Amino acid sequence: MGSSGSFEWSVSLPGSKGSRSTFYKPKASICVDSESCGHEELFVPVSVAKVLARHRKDGESLPDSRAELIFQLSWLEETECRKRVEGLINRRDYSTSELTLRLQRDGYPSDVVKSVVERMVEVGVLNDSRYADVFIRSKISSGWGELRIERELSRRGVDVETLEGWPDSYFDATNEAERAYELASRRRFSGRDPYAKAVRYLIGRGFSYSVASDVASRLKDEGTLLG
């Protein structure tokens, strides 16, 4: 418990076995008693509460008024949010939308997240065009079609219409059909309607119906679809 005169505060971390949201992480609480505002419970990201608790344990200078506590919490929220970004980006690249959502799930306030993410974009740490380019090339190598890539990028907050060269720089009709054929020819389609199975498989991989049906017809003509 930190205290000074009529000002007191304490840190409470969420229990490891408590109820957890399936989306947002549980927050820590700072219980504050002050002459100006009475009893308050402030909710902050766990990382922020842990730093504050560690400062108290180590005997570091602590806030001795409500105003100082609020100021320190605001400063810690931004500092810890930046650290969180560095840790995430060091493991893999993120789209702006992905990272924003991840930080919000961690419990950081929307205004802090917005400020930190905008700064990361400004200095080039986050770049949706670069992210999308790497993502597209990786998924093409994995056998994904244009439509599936477009859907997945949209889910990650990237509009392919804003990407320079999309889709012509990545796909052409001949290569798209050949990639679909190569992918489908490695699988065995049998049973009641192998043609339909081949079409559904390719559409599921993100190829257009036109490409999928052409490839299925080609496989049927070659006698590789087993009815």
Among 177, 163, 172, smallest CA distance to 134 is for 163
134 and 118 inside one domain:
no
Contacts of 25 (CB under 8 A, 6+ apart): 45, 46, 105, 106, 107
The number of domains in the chain is 2
Interatomic CA distance for residues 183 and 129, integer angstroms: 28
166 and 198 inside one domain:
yes
Q: Is the pTM of this model over 0.85?
A: no
Interatomic CA distance for residues 7 and 144, integer angstroms: 60
Interatomic CA distance for residues 116 and 114, integer angstroms: 6
226 within domain boundaries? no
227 within domain boundaries? no
Length of the chain: 227
State pLDDT tens for residues 95-129.
999 999 999 999 999 999 999 999 999 999 999 99
Residue finishing a domain among 71, 102, 122: 122
- Residue 24 Rama label (left phi>0; alpha psi -120 to 50; beta): beta
Task: Identify the CATH number of the domain in which residue 46 sits.
Answer: 1.10.10
pLDDT band at 223 (very low <50, low <70, confident <90, very high): confident
64 and 34 inside one domain:
yes
Task: Answer whether residue 22 shows pLDDT above 90.
Answer: no
Contacts of 221 (CB under 8 A, 6+ apart): none
State pLDDT tens for residues 70-102.
999 999 999 999 999 999 999 999 999 999 999
Q: Which domain holds residue 210?
A: 128-221
Interatomic CA distance for residues 206 and 208, integer angstroms: 7
99 and 194 inside one domain:
no
Check the CA dihedral 212-215-219-220 and report its sign: positive
Longest CA pairwise span in the chain (Å):
88
Interatomic CA distance for residues 69 and 75, integer angstroms: 10
State pLDDT tens for residues 144-195.
988 999 999 999 999 999 999 898 888 876 788 888 998 899 888 888 889 8
SS3 162: helix
118 and 139 inside one domain:
no
